[in-house]
Structure 1
Amino acid sequence: MHIENLREYCLSKAGTTEELPFGPDTLVFKIGGKVYLLVGLDQVDALRFNVKCDPDRALELRSNYPHSVIPGYHMNKKHWNTVYCNRELPDDDINELIDHSYDLVFASLSKTIRENIIAV
């Protein structure tokens, strides 16, 4: 997976916005104003990104894929993972982790915001 593929996949999700709130080197994808994925734009050789994850599932993923899924760098390590692409996990599994993060954040939004996103 390349960063262009990651960006296209995130932007294909309903209501997703992309921003650079932490400066020009960190691209952030949000749903309803809340972050669900962060990726550094300075990565050339080892693409990695942070996504939200259910705490129990995060522990399982880290155990099963120790070279690809680690506690979230500069994030709450209980709820966030750093995922390395192009290692153990196929792209379909990586996309599923993005979906999981998106779904967790979407579910945390108010009913009004969720309905507005669905209506678009």
Structure 2
Amino acid sequence: MKYTWIDEYLMEKPSVTKDLKKEWNWIRYMIGGKMFAAICLDQDDKPYYITLKLEPLEGDFLRQQYEDIIPGYYCNKVHWNSIKPDGCVPDDLLRDMLDKSYKLVLKGFSKKKQQEILSTTNC
């Protein structure tokens, strides 16, 4: 996988947890129990797609700009986008997309819950 920095980058964000959803073979990154990013693994446990959430118009725009960004793999095709892990999406753009996904999911919580989430630390 081209984006070897992704796990460390995501785990540095406040209150992020990760797990392996064995039934899907996905490494999921979550905040407050809600997924905001995932590394989808193939049958050989190699990264197959990186999936994240974006505002629908931005996701559509990026899919038109990069052939390595497709509608969400096994996700809602409007809100979720998948990136080929060995594709041509620049690292800075992927970091920006991951940041936006994190913020978008966090914004879905009430203000009180956002404060609770952000006040807990990663273990």
TM-score (ref. length: structure 2): 0.84
1-structure distance, mates of 2:63, 2:106: 23
After TM superposition, give the deviation of residue 4 of structure 1 in Å.
4.6
SS in 1 for 2:28: strand
Change (3 A) 1:92 1:13: same
The answer on whether the counterparts of 1:85 and 1:94 sit within 8 Å (CA) in structure 2 is: no
Match of 2:50 in 1: 49
After TM superposition, give the deviation of residue 88 of structure 1 in Å.
2.0
TM-score (ref. length: structure 1): 0.86
Listed as ranges, the gaps of 5+ residues in structure 2 are none
Give the helix-richer structure, 1 or 2.
1
Matched, 1:118 2:118: yes
SS in 2 for 1:38: strand
Show the 5 A alignment for 1:19-58.
Answer: 19-23=19-23, 25-41=25-41, 42-43=45-46, 48-58=49-59
After TM superposition, give the deviation of residue 109 of structure 1 in Å.
1.1
Per-residue deviation, residues 80-106 of structure 1 (Å, max 9, x unmatched): 000123422211111111101101001
Match of 1:97 in 2: 97
Identity fraction in percent: 32
Matched, 1:16 2:16: yes
Listed as ranges, the gaps of 5+ residues in structure 1 are none
The answer on whether the counterparts of 1:15 and 1:31 sit within 8 Å (CA) in structure 2 is: yes
Runs (4+) of structure 1 exceeding 6 A deviation are: none
SS in 2 for 1:20: strand
